[in-house]
Structure 1
Amino acid sequence: MTSALLSKYRDWVTALGIAIFALILRFWRLGSIKGFIFDEIYYAKDAHSLLQHGVEIDAITNEASFVVHPPIGKWIIAAGIKLFGFNEFGWRAGAAIIGTASVLLMYFTAKKLFNNYALSVGAALLISFDGLHLVHSRTALLDIFLMFFLQTTFFFLISARHWLTGISLGLALSTKWTGLYYMCAFLLFVLYVDYRSHKSAEDASPARKMIITNFPSRIFQYLILPILIYISSYVGWFINRNGWSRSWADEKDGTFTFIPAVFRSWWHYQFEILQFHTSLTDAHPYSANPWSWLILGRPTSFYYETGAACGAKECSQEVLALGTPLLWWAAAIALVVAIGMWIARREWKLGVLLLSVGAGYLPWFINQKRTTFYFYTLAFEPFLLLTLVYVAWVFLNSARDAKELSIRRYLLGIGLVIVALNFLYFLPLYLGISIPHASWATHMWFPSWI
């Protein structure tokens, strides 16, 4: 058996071992918290309606619901409901499976980037030790699906598998519009890579060669294909006349009457969604400005009750969408260091990681009045953690001798253990375990976490 084959087996055994650990955490008492948690009240009900009607119908009024996110994520929730029933376990199962798969993918993405077994293990463990990731893997919201499709997009991008990248982008876009930012960012990135490739080949006019040779296919792969997948995700809306605004254009005259009414109605629906997203300024007790996200300024409480027994006079049971604090603060510092590294040396791996963080983060600064939440960071969390791993990679590679390398490995190992302990400390708040109120209070490190 060749060393390459042995390495492949080792990778799969290790990655699956970490994934099994993640799977246990994600499925343990998954349906124990009864009722809808946070926005499950929308997405679980919408998913159930998709199973019944093919579109989102309000179960009480029996009329079309105005839904502001595309259907793919809700179809994954619906798959869990189909398998396990319309209950807490059923509508959360899809998120638990996808969350586990993302841990597995994290290992192989790190292996692709760094070709380092220890760092790949570290990357997979870091995301499995993160509280925000765990909470979303146990809740029927859309963000874990968006994150996973962006992960697959990134993996295919760095593997130069452009058609699969386009498909993944389409699935991300068909889950949440955040995918649009990544479409633009990755299209520009791959065109730049093509340009650099022609320049390295000493073509007389690399820009012209890129435009002639690569531009048409890249536009299709990174722009047209994702949009086609996005439109296709509304197939239930197209074939069912009960969807929101489905008949809007049926009896309307205008300049574009040569376009079938169903497509004009769909375009109107998309415009309504755009208006919602650009005008959402409602006050919310857990809204958080993007400036505070990386330092965990205002995490989102998904669930809080005081009645569950815990063996004490006063008990608190909470599901808090909070990243493991020491991990996130380390990643925030690493991000600053990484930006400095990239300015000093324009290395492509770091460049694409920073681009992936920026595509999911920077657009939220544009409209400071919009209602936003800390958990939107989940979309770019894998890339933020991989940036931390990149800094660790440089830290190891800059060791001057074997002894120094051994010391640095030891220090990184200690750091990983500290993150794991920090994760275990907050685990009751991630799993919704009832604990004494006094203990809960000690977990509220800042007033803004309450």
Structure 2
Amino acid sequence: MNKSRLREFAPITLILGFALTLRLWRLNQPKGYIFDEIYYAKNAASLINDGVELNSQGDAEFVVHPPLGKWVIGLGIKAFGDNEFGWRISAALVGTASVLLIFMITQLLFNSVFLSNTAAALMAFDGLHLVMSRVALLDIFLMFFILLTFYLLLQNNLWASGAIIGVAGATKWSAFFLIPVLILLTINFSKFHWGTLVKRIGQYILTPLGIYFVSWGGWILSSKGWARESGSNLFSSLWNYHREILSFHRELTDEHAYDANPWNWLVLGRPTSFYYETPTNCGASSCSQEILAIGTPMLWWFGVFAIAITFGFFISKSDRISGFVLAGIAGTYLPWLFIQGRTTFYFYSISILPFLILAIINFLDWALKKGLDRKYIYGYLLLVGVNFIYFLPILIGLEIPYSDWMDRMWLPSWI
């Protein structure tokens, strides 16, 4: 590789190093389970040890999400032990890998290393992405698999793309919202053939369902799983289990302090506090220590503008890239707008983040072609980076004076 190519790709190397460092630094802090780690980390350890989710007494445990994401968490536990670092390392590595993946997707769409580096930097500078890369929850894996699905689609590797959306759905059901979007993206309606539709059904419905079924292998091969003997055969038992899972999600209407209506996700209306303590050793009379799942405001708020501009591009000229970006947003966000009354949390929006970033890149690409000087993009990256560093203490649980914590509560709904 010549020197010019080295200079071209040096930024992504630095960005990845920065992202990985922040995701590994103090990864074992805070001690103990935080937020829903008490479910997922425990389930992951049980999967590794028993092949199926059991409680601490060794009895079958009812779980409300498919097992694959917990298997990934379990790999970290297998490698590093059943401790805080072991629970969280898989999320840290997958989160870092997603920074590289957004770089690769941007390169495929815009054929610009500069814009690809910009996209990667924006993801590395996002607060929500950092938080979700440092906790043993399922959502960073869901986001990564969705992103990989779209990358493979752009590579025209549709069978693999269908398999990976199955992997995503085997992490969280919400990935399956994307299946109609993926089918629509891959059909040329001006040259429509029924054979193409049949093929897409195989790629994006039958293949994901097959992957999803296989992901339940531990439960299938064990006699200990919850509801394993509830039916007359394996399939009826699995069906009974899934009916109970669906019932749980439909009836999840309990009040929660951090319930966030999807309509306010993109503007950071109600971020989720994963951890909050009031230590006494920060050097001030009153101290705060928090892990707040919140996106970097200067990224998300500009992203809302960029989504609107991208929609305008699509309406005015129906360009392929704008359609791709909007399809991703439609599949990861729009279904949630119709789920009212159910308890939902802001951090679910991590799956929207890559497409919000791509909307920003789409706008910047247009602006560059209209003559915008790159220095303004560097200025925007600096603004996002400074905003990210300012919020860093409340993203990773550093102990700070209460007054400093309050300074970062820009909206009353963030408290």
- Aligned position for 2:413: 448
> What is the CA deviation profile of residues 152-196 of structure 1, one whole-angstrom value per residue up to 9, with x for unaligned ones?
0111111211112112111101100011111221012212xx33x
Instruction: Name the CA distance, whole Å, in 2 between partners of 1:215 and 1:104.
Output: 32
Tell me if 1:293 matches 2:265: yes
Q: Structure 1 residue 10: deviation in Å?
A: 5.7
Match of residue 131, structure 2, among 114, 132, 135 = 135
3-state SS in 2 of match to 1:363: helix
Higher-Rg member (1/2):
1
Matched, 1:165 2:161: yes
| Structure 2 equivalent of residue 414 of structure 1 | 379
Instruction: Give the stretch that moved more between structures: 46-55 or 268-277.
Output: 268-277
2:22 maps to which residue? 25
Structure 1 Cα separation of the partners of residues 273 and 122 of structure 2: 22
* 2:288–2:400 CA contact under 8 A, matched in 1: yes
Judging changes above 3 Å, is the alpha-carbon distance between structure 1 residues 249 and 12 closer, same or farther for their aligned structure 2 residues? farther
SS, match of residue 223 in structure 2: coil
C-alpha deviation, 1:268, in angstroms: 1.2
**1:306 and 1:413 mapped to 2: Cα distance?**
38
Residue 12 of structure 1 deviates from its aligned partner by: 5.3
Aligned to 2:240: 268
Whether 1:329 aligns to 2:312 is: no
Aligned letter for 1:101?
A: A
TM-score between the two structures when normalised by the length of structure 2: 0.97
Structure 1 position 228, deviation (Å): 0.3
Number of the residue aligned with 2:205: 223
Q: Does 1:90 align with 2:86?
A: yes
Contact 1:308 1:317 in 2 (8 A): no
SS in 1 for 2:173: coil
Q: Following the alignment from structure 2 to structure 1, what is the Cα–Cα distance between the partners of residues 8 and 168?
A: 27
Runs of at least 5 residues in structure 1 that lack an aligned partner in the other structure: 200-205, 251-260, 400-404
- Three-state SS of the structure 1 residue aligned to 2:291 is strand
Distance 1:301 1:434 in 2: 15
For 2:401 and 2:313, the matched residues in 1 are separated by 45
- Residues 1:100 and 2:65 aligned together: no
State how many pairs are aligned.
415
In structure 1, what is the Cα distance between the partners aligned to 2:174 and 2:379? 36
Instruction: Give the TM-score of the pair, scaled to structure 1.
Output: 0.90
Deviation at 1:367, TM superposition (A): 2.4
Local SS of the residue matching 1:417: helix
Question: Is 2:280–2:286's contact at 8 Å kept on the other side of the alignment?
Answer: no
2:356 alignment partner AA: L
The Cα offsets for residues 40-84 of structure 1, whole Å up to 9 and x where unpaired, read as 00000000010111111111x422111111111101110000111
Alignment match, 1:55? 52
* Residue of structure 1 aligned with 2:41, choices 34, 39, 44: 44
How far, CA to CA, are the matches of 1:262 and 1:172 in structure 2?
A: 23
Given the superposition, is the C-alpha separation of residues 270 and 12 from structure 1 closer, same or farther in structure 2, using an over 3 Å criterion?
A: farther
Q: CA deviation at 1:412?
A: 1.5
1:258: which partner in 2? none
**CA displacement 1:265-318 (0-9 Å, x = unmatched):** 001111111111122111100000011111101000000000252111211000
CA contact (8 A) 1:16 1:104 kept: no
SS at match of 1:287: coil
Aligned partner of residue 413 in structure 2, secondary structure: helix
Structure 2 CA distance for aligned equivalents of residues 69 and 188 of structure 1: 27
After TM superposition, where is structure 1 displaced by more than 3 Å over at least 4 residues in a row?
Answer: 9-14
Read off the aligned partner of 1:442 and give its amino acid letter.
D
RMSD of the TM alignment (CA)?
1.4
Residue 16 of structure 1 deviates from its aligned partner by 2.9
Q: Write the deviation string for residues 204-226 of structure 1: whole angstroms up to 9, x where unpaired.
A: xx33xx213x2222111111101
Output the amino acid matched with 2:300. Answer: W
The equivalent residue for 1:432 is 397
Structure 2 unaligned blocks of 5 or more: none
Q: Residues 38-437 of structure 1 correspond to what in structure 2 (within 5 A)?
A: 38-59=35-56, 61-191=57-187, 194-195=188-189, 199=190, 206-207=191-192, 210-212=193-195, 214-250=196-232, 261-307=233-279, 309-399=281-371, 405-406=372-373, 409-437=374-402
Give the Cα–Cα distance (whole angstroms) in 2 for the partners of residues 86 and 429 of structure 1. 26
Q: Which amino acid aligns with 2:194?
A: I
